[in-house]
Amino acid sequence: MKLWGGRFEKGTDELVNDFNSSIRFDKRMYKQDIKGSTAHAKMLGKCGVITEEESAFIVKTLAEILDEIENGTAQFMIDAEDIHMNIETMLIAKIGDTGKKLHTGRSRNDQVALDIRMYLRDETDEIIKMLKDLLRVLINIAKDNLDTIMPGYTHLQKAQPITLAHHMCAYTQMFERDIMRLADCRKRINIMPLGSGALAATTYPFDREFVARELGFDGITYNSLDGVSDRDFVIEMSGALSIIMMHLSRFCEELILWNTNEFSFVEMDDSCSTGSSIMPQKKNPDVAELIRGKAGRVYGSLMTILTVMKGIPLAYNKDMQEDKECIFDAVDTVKLCIPVFAKMLDTMKFNKDVMYKGAGGGFTNATDAADYLVRKNIPFRKAHEIVGKTVLYATKHGKALSELTLDEYKAICPEIDGDIYYAIDLKTCVEGRKIIGGPAKEAVLKTIEKDISFLEKE
């Protein structure tokens, strides 16, 4: 018998029953559901809607049900539709009429909104922790590579020399913003909707603030229609998770490239690589590729929930049950990816010599040669042209700028002296860029300092 069976003359068709039921995926919210019901039961007792004894009896039995679910003795039933009615059915099976009082003044519409908010709040905290662990790995690599010169790219063409530390700190900035985004989204998740009822709140004199305090919410919702039908926070969180995956995927793409024979900037550890079933020589960056692929899956979740919500009239509609599988999958995917990515990064070997050599090619010091001429009182646009001509000359003669003789330089521009070689040395190029945000050791150390204090305060 369904908890809502009173007005029905026939049972639910079996196909419809399976179709409608969400227990197979919403059972993961059992803890939140029991916590929420416990707070609701306490509040019912406190407000005198049920007696204190009844309230205590319900609270005690809910704790037993929690134990039974956790030790595997409780059985979920497809027939009971979702986690909310499964637990209520278990409660009623144990204590009969007293159990039947729990749902007073409450609807599954506000109940599910409560549960998902609590669930996502907890997951947000977990993901933030994982991102912080990843930040620590990045900061350590940065600290160890303040002097590791490598080429920086634009258009995937060598551009200017930077350091590996500087490159890693680009990602610490991204992951810090990801943490801030999640923390910000959490503020809107952590608002308590119970008391909204089905849509029009309730006639009982409920103490909503009490429930919010019991459950650790920062505030309560202020419109019952919105309270049951808002899923903005699911969309926001999917967006934040998508951005995390975009960052991871982008980083993975770089590592895949760096790990190629052509680049050879890094070598992924055996423990984080995979082989080929036919080509014996292969060592593939499957982990990085899989993370890059899974980004698509998380974007899919964002599109799902956006599309589900776009045409739903107020207030609750069953469409909204579709919020769960996509956000759960996005959460699971992100939680799967961050730690394995951190491990891959942590175990990776950086080929510093190859990086240094790479930084020497492609005229990465050409900007510095132009800046050298600026210091000799040549206007920048003019200096740019002179160095452009020098690069053309050097390219034709198969030389790097550092390999041109002073006579060759003088022939192009008489203002050039012997100090050009110091000016275009890769180390000079990097160390000269010491303004905040630059690749010089001094500047990167400031960034690292800021990153560490972010980890401590957030």
Stated as kind and residue range, the H or E segment containing 120 is helix 108-144
Q: Does 321 bind ligand ARG (CB under 6 A)?
A: yes
Instruction: By CB under 6 A, name the one of 82, 176, 178, 451 that touches ligand ARG.
Output: 82
Q: Does 55 bind ligand ARG (CB under 6 A)?
A: no
Active site residue 276: yes
Q: Please, what is the minimum distance in Å from the beta carbon of residue 113 to ligand ARG?
A: 9
Catalytic one of 22, 40, 224, 276: 276
Q: Does 86 bind ligand ARG (CB under 6 A)?
A: no
Active site residue 247: no
Greatest alpha-carbon span in the chain: 102
Contact yes or no for 179/132 (Cβ under 8 A): yes
Measured CA distances, 225 to 209, 315, 337, 397 (Å): 18, 5, 37, 75
In the bound state with ligand ARG, the residue whose beta carbon lies nearer, of 26 and 368, is 26
Q: Beta strands 219-220 and 191-192: pairing type?
A: parallel
Q: Please, what is the minimum distance in Å from the beta carbon of residue 232 to ligand ARG?
A: 16
Q: Please, what is the minimum distance in Å from the beta carbon of residue 20 to ligand ARG?
A: 8
3-state helix/strand/coil string of 144-209: HCCCCEEEEEECCEEEEEEEHHHHHHHHHHHHHHHHHHHHHHHHHHCEECCCCCCCCCCCCCCCHH
Q: Does 320 bind ligand ARG (CB under 6 A)?
A: yes
Instruction: By CB under 6 A, name the one of 49, 62, 112, 444 that touches ligand ARG.
Output: 112
In the bound state with ligand ARG, the residue whose beta carbon lies nearer, of 312 and 445, is 312
For residue 177, how far is the Cα from the chain centroid?
Answer: 10
Q: Does 230 bind ligand ARG (CB under 6 A)?
A: no
Return d(Cα 173, Cα 450) in angstroms, integer. 10
In the bound state with ligand ARG, the residue whose beta carbon lies nearer, of 234 and 420, is 234
Q: Does 33 bind ligand ARG (CB under 6 A)?
A: no
Q: Does 7 bind ligand ARG (CB under 6 A)?
A: no
Measured CA distances, 194 to 215, 236, 322 (Å): 11, 21, 20
In the bound state with ligand ARG, the residue whose beta carbon lies nearer, of 32 and 109, is 109
Contact yes or no for 228/107 (Cβ under 8 A): yes
Q: Please, what is the minimum distance in Å from the beta carbon of residue 109 to ligand ARG?
A: 5
In the bound state with ligand ARG, the residue whose beta carbon lies nearer, of 164 and 320, is 320
Strand, helix or coil for residue 151: strand
Return d(Cα 199, Cα 458) in angstroms, integer. 37
For residue 331, how far is the Cα from the chain centroid?
Answer: 9
Residues in 372-401 that interact with ligand ARG by CB under 6 A: none
Catalytic one of 22, 40, 155, 397: 155
Which amino acids are annotated catalytic?
155, 276
Residues in contact with ligand ARG by CB under 6 A are: 22, 26, 82, 108-109, 112, 316, 318, 320-321
